[in-house]
Amino acid sequence: MCKPRKYSSQVVDGFERAPSRAMLYPVGFKKEDFNKPQVGIASTWSMVTPCNMHIDKLADEASKGVNATGGKAIIFNTITISDGISMGSEGMKYSLVSREVIADSIETVVGCQGFDGVVAIGGCDKNMPGCIIALARLNRPSIFVYGGTIQPGKNHTDVVSVFEAVGQFANHTIDEIELENIEKTAIPGPGSCGGMYTANTMASAIEALGMSLPNSSAQDAISEDKNNDCVQAGQAVLNLLNQDIKPRDIMTMKAFENAITMIIALGGSTNAVLHLIAMASAAEVNLKIDDFTRIGKKVPVIADLKPSGQYMMSELVEIGGTLPLMKMLLDAGLLHGDCLTVTGKTLAENLKNVKPYANSQEIIRTLDNPIKKESHLRILRGNLATDGAVAKITGKEGLSFKGTAKCFSREEEALKAILNDQITAGDVIVIRYEGPVGGPGMREMLAPTSAVMGKGLGGKVALITDGRFSGGTHGFVVGHITPEAFQGGVLAVVEDGDEILIDAKNNILELLVTQAIINKRLSNWTQPKPNYTKGVLAKFAKLVKSASEGAVTD
């Protein structure tokens, strides 16, 4: 039987802890359970969103694995919010904030209750990095389980199809009945958004990081494989306890390099830059935005997945998931095989017997026939982003764009202009005061970028912002601009008609105005009043660091 009880023994051992034990009998403890290591099962279940609606059942499966292996599982919940539901509204300002709330709440429960280990189960893009941040802070034996991907909707649709349908309806290319049909059938049941959007991006990154069991990132939400994944995770955390393997033993700089390599190969979301830096910060690993450029020079994009590609995660699951891709990258010398993982083995040991994809599949290309030879995630700098900005450029939209600015101080203003045909070819849509402090909360811009696509303007216009983008966004877009406008970044003084250059080959984001004019404008600029002065958004704005530092609040 497993014996390590470093934390729970402080809570339940000895005559003086009788009150603690008395409180635990009613919640299902038996006398013998007090001698077992306690494992917290951090569940992100809620009926707020389909991404998480099934996670209560997955938590039960993880508990079975813990209890069958000599531990005592205790399920507790944390919050989740839905980006997809709140997108384009004031409520979206709580999205990134929720990552910090989730991390804080898991840390709080585990730290208070004295759990010896943790299984965290997440199913939406903010609760996954939130879970990992908490596990890194706590640094006690832990494992992460992904809730799994959703099935495609009718006619191969998904949530992004609905957002783009809004633009198509506004452009009169579909009628009201067609819009309603897409709305009703695009999201058929439980699971995270089906493309290589932020949820599947982060799940894949966390697996490559070594914090999930092999193939946890590539399983359908409702499947026997996912149920087994949860049971095995419950068993695995007891093995981690026995071996005293902790998250920071796994989450090294080399492990983060593996995660970055994986998300580049998959064509993943820009949000991964923000979240991986935040996760690394919690693990006390000095990951910087320029590391994405360094690694991106040698890693190609080889997955033909939505939003810029054709296929969905469920179709990648059908051909073998992420493991054959990781084996391909390992064999090419692009992954560090000696990194420790939650199996207690190295990445190379986990991948030793993995078979390659069938030759007939078209989702994952070979390394010598990539979609893009270098990374699609570009870290841009210039007078508009002296501290960096993040672009997702697959090459399909070209590698550079020069256009004239049309400026908006809120996302809603920009969306209205797009839908009302006020944006034309050659425009650079500038959305500012949406950064971590200015928003506050750094909203995602899926509504306006999808409207651009729906309006048939993809490739004809660009969009830049100090906010960020959903993993479902595609097109010529640049986000995470730092310094942000609210803190006096040059983005604050861009004027309508100014020329802007986006060069994703040389990694430049430049306002084509003389420095003397910029200086004069900045001298006349005054900081707007904050949008929130109390509550969680105000706390976030006061504590948060820049997007280039992961928008962390530690």
What tokens appear for 477 in the block? Answer: 């877009």
Instruction: Tell me the three state secondary structure of residue 376.
Output: coil
Long-range contacts for 53-61 (Cβ within 8 Å, ≥24 apart)? 53/190, 54/123, 54/147, 54/190, 54/191, 54/221, 54/222, 55/121, 55/122, 55/123, 55/147, 57/227, 58/121, 58/145, 58/147, 58/226, 58/227, 58/230, 59/121, 59/230, 61/227, 61/230, 61/231, 61/234
Residues 6+ apart with CB under 8 A from 286: 253, 280
Distant-in-sequence, close-in-space partners of 379: CB < 8 Å, separation ≥ 6: 273, 289, 290, 292, 293, 388, 389, 390, 507
Judge whether 192 counts as a catalytic residue: no
Tell me how far apart the alpha carbons of residues 403 and 423 are, in angstroms, rounded to a whole number. Answer: 12
- β-bridge pairing 72-77 and 38-43: parallel
Question: Which entry of 216, 470, 546, 548 is annotated as an active-site residue?
Answer: 470
The dihedral over CA atoms of 298, 299, 300, 305, expressed in degrees to the nearest 10, equals -170
Phi-psi region at 465: left, alpha or beta (left = phi > 0; alpha = psi -120 to 50): beta
For 283-436, where are the alpha helices, taking DSSP H only?
A: 289-296, 313-318, 323-331, 347-351, 411-419
What does the alpha-carbon distance between residue 60 and residue 26 come to, in Å, rounded to a whole number?
Answer: 18
Peptide bond into 440 cis (omega under 30): yes
Which residues are the active-site residues?
Answer: 470
